């Protein structure tokens, strides 16, 4: 009887619970909120977020959920419309502003320890007494040497608002010395190097289109013209772009009055044309523009304007393919949106934006696997989008700027010894060791001829082989003879960086093995 009663009660309870569950679900499903189907007012999104806040089972982080919703929504647009939380927005604006707030040093991390590469003249670190070659072991109370601290974390520890203080403890010749440094505004240069390759050929490398790009570039160009420059090699490789107005100003220096530079147009932005005014100071300079698969945005505006106007020879590899214009929209909480509002078009009318795809972020890797980076025949162009330059040369839209002169990525001179040294950052660590040994000599060198003479007299190749051997790396018989002419200019460049010439020394020494620069120095009759 008890068993039967228990079974009966269980059956009744089960039925009741089933009904309750059904009623609960039924009730929730039918708690309808009015939605008139007008998606143009974003009402459905607001309704859903409101329901989550009012009814979700646990506490909701409204800020995180809102940020996630915005990020997801923008992700359905194009790859360059993005939401930036306050920290990321600040970093983005700092990168392009031409200055940042910090202590004013440049450093490398060759052996899990930050080594001061250069101290910005007149900056807070120089005033406090930091020196080139100092090893940073602690920032305030946090040890960073030998702790596998990521380099970006080191940067964040040392950067901060102007006027704030930070204590940086360094190891200098075995002595630990703390320095109290008051942060300040530090200029960031976008012209990495500007020098003469020979009596008539100048070289300028530009890394970003920041707020100071035009002023820095024109100062460098005027200096090189005074030294006899009639041919400029303008290096935009690995330049991911920046401010469009700076690209226009640079184009204007090379073009005749009325030459088209670029035009922009979008659904909510009427067409806007930018033409040259003819007042440029470099219209008589022969021009070669270097690009690669990372060159994007403003770099492509410049390269496209020079190519379509038959003003310069484009040398290198197909550019990234970003033909969109973003407009900043900032909010009072410190966050912001970079929203694509228009496409830009080169003077011939081509949009060089590559197609959006699920593999958009891996496009460069796919170019490599297709063989495009090593063979001109593998370059992917949209033959349906044909345009013509001022002289009638055929160019294509829909996927970057295709160079006039293709230079493949050099994979032939990298021996196994070279590859193994790169994996272990042996060259960078060697350069640091050389500076430790010859600090007083290297830090006094301030002209290139003296630096080259110093490197030759100290037999850097022999010293490097000994250092590599201590790291367990030795070239196979005959391997060094094949590798040294390619590797040693790079090693010397890293050592030369520790002289007063800094980045100029680095590029002048490295450029010896740069096939793209070598090609750009040759005469090319394209027009």
**Catalytic residue IDs:** 297, 308, 322
Given CA atoms 168, 172, 174, 178 in this order, what sign does their dihedral have? negative
Q: CA 501 to CA 280: how far, in whole Å?
A: 30
Q: CA 168 to CA 141: how far, in whole Å?
A: 9
- Give CA separation, 235 vs 44, 217, 521, in Å: 49, 12, 12
Task: Report the Cα–Cα distance between both ends of the chain, in Å, rounded.
Answer: 105
Pairing of strands 184-187, 175-182: unpaired
Query: Which pair of structure tokens corresponds to residue 362?
Result: 């891996």
Judged by DSSP in three states, 193 sits in strand
Give me the helix-helix angle, 244-254 and 213-226, nearest 10°.
20
- Give CA separation, 389 vs 65, 100, 392, 422, in Å: 49, 40, 5, 42
Q: CA 70 to CA 67: how far, in whole Å?
A: 5
Closest C-alpha among 201, 376, 214, 386 to residue 298 = 214
Please say whether the beta carbons of 307 and 403 come within 8 A: no
- Ranges of beta strands (E only) in 120-268 are 135-139, 142-143, 165-172, 175-182, 184-187, 191-196, 201-206, 231-235, 260-266
């Amino acid at each position: 009887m008890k068993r039967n009663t228990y079974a009966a009660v269980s059956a009744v309870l089960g039925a009741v619970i089933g009904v309750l569950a059904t009623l609960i679900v039924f009730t929730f499903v039918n708690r309808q909120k009015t939605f008139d189907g007008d998606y143009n007012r974003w009402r459905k999104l607001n309704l859903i977020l409101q329901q989550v806040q009012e009814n979700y089972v646990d506490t909701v982080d409204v800020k995180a959920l809102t940020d996630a919703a915005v990020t997801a929504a923008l992700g359905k647009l194009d790859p360059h419309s993005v939401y930036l939380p306050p920290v990321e927005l600040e970093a983005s604006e700092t990168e392009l502003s031409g200055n940042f707030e910090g202590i004013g040093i440049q450093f490398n991390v060759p052996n899990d320890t930050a080594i001061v590469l250069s101290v910005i003249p007149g900056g807070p670190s120089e005033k406090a007494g930091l020196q080139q070659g100092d090893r940073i072991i602690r920032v305030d109370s946090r040890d960073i040497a030998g702790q596998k601290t990521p380099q970006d974390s080191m940067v964040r520890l040392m950067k901060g608002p102007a006027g704030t203080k930070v204590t940086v403890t360094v190891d200098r010749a075995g002595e630990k010395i703390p320095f109290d440094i008051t942060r300040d505004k530090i200029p960031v240069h976008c012209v990495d190097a500007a020098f003469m390759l020979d009596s008539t050929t100048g070289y300028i490398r530009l890394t970003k289109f920041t707020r100071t790009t035009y002023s820095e570039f024109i100062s460098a160009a005027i200096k090189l013209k005074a030294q006899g420059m009639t041919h400029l090699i303008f290096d935009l490789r690995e330049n991911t772009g920046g401010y469009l107005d700076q690209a226009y100003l640079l184009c204007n220096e090379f073009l005749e009055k009325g030459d088209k530079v670029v035009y922009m147009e979008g659904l909510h932005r009427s067409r806007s044309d930018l033409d040259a005014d003819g007042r440029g100071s470099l219209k008589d300079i022969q021009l070669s523009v270097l690009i690669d698969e990372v060159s994007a945005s403003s770099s492509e505006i410049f390269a496209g304007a020079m190519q379509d106007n038959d003003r310069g020879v484009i040398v290198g590899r197909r550019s990234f393919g970003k033909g969109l214009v973003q407009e900043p929209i900032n909010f009072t909480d410190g966050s912001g949106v970079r929203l694509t509002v228009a496409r830009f078009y080169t003077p011939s009318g081509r949009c060089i934006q590559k197609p959006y795809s699920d593999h958009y972020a891996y496009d460069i890797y796919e170019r490599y696997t297709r063989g495009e980076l090593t063979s001109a025949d593998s370059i992917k162009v949209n033959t349906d989008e044909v345009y013509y330059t001022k002289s009638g040369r055929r160019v294509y839209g829909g996927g970057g700027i295709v160079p006039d002169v293709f230079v493949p990525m050099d994979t032939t001179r990298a021996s196994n010894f070279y590859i193994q040294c790169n994996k272990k950052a042996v060259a960078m660590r060697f350069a640091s060791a050389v500076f430790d040994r010859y600090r007083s000599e290297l830090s006094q060198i301030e002209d290139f001829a003296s630096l080259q003479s110093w490197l030759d007299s100290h037999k850097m190749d022999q010293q490097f082989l000994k250092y590599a051997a201590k790291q367990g790396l030795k070239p196979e018989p005959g391997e060094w003879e094949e590798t040294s002419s390619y590797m040693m200019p790079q090693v010397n460049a890293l050592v030369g960086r520790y002289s007063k010439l800094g980045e100029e020394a680095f590029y002048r020494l490295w450029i010896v093995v740069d096939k793209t620069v070598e090609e750009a120095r040759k005469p090319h009759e394209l027009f």
